[in-house]
Amino acid sequence: MVNDAVEDPQADQPAEPRLSDVGLIGALARLLNDHQKKVVKPVVDAPKVPLIKGYVEGGQSDLIIRVGDDVIGRYKVNLAQPKVVVDEDNEAALNEYADSHGGIEVIIRRNPTWEASLLTYAKYDEDTGQIIDTRNGEVVRGLKYEKGGNPTGNLTWTWEQGEVGKKRLMRLYQEGALNDLLKEKPELMAGPRPTAEDAQH
């Protein structure tokens, strides 16, 4: 005789969600994703222009974001690194160098692969102001040296101690601690948004 006390192991398992529900959630995710692109993305990018302007005008390259004593994270203005590049005002000289070193293609242009390799091995000689091909020690005319240090137009954002900054900001956001700051951005405020009817009362 089968023991009636033994429970059916499948009885406790939740039913699979209906495909239509999964599809509805997927549609909502698409809507929220579109909303994020249109509304949230410009707010995410808003610090870029003033931070880069601040760097150009005053040299400030970092901005630490705090709420009270809690560090949330930091922005850093990305700076161009020094590098050797093709001198567009003197490409004829580089073409001569390319011609004598197998860097010219039949279509009479520099081989892009050869050029990329040359730029990898080309180094700026601080003493002479010339660019040297470190593979053979020859001076390469038609290249120039660009000093780094100018803003690249991009920023790097780093959360404070990884997840710590995220958790702090989410807690403060959910507590409504940022609501005064977000008055101009009601779409970002936590909790239910006032309706047109609420505004009339």
Q: Give me the pLDDT at residue 138, please.
A: 95
What does the pLDDT read at residue 201?
46
pTM of full prediction above 0.75: no
Give residues with Cβ within 8 angstroms of 90, minimum separation 6.
Answer: 141, 142, 144
Residue 171 has pLDDT above 90, yes or no: no
| pLDDT score of 127 | 92
For residues 72 and 65, give the distance between their C-alpha atoms in angstroms, rounded to a whole number. Answer: 6
What are residue 65's DSSP bridge partners? 73
Q: What is the pLDDT of residue 82?
A: 92
Q: How far is CA 196 from the centre of its chain?
A: 37
DSSP state of 11: T
pLDDT above 90 as % of the chain:
24
Q: Is the dihedral of CA 84, 88, 90, 96 positive or negative?
A: positive
Contact in structure between 122 and 133 (CB atoms under 8 Å): yes
Pairing of strands 62-67, 109-110: unpaired
Give the 3-state secondary structure of residue 90: helix
pLDDT (0 to 100) of residue 6:
53
The pLDDT score that the predictor gives to residue 145 is 92
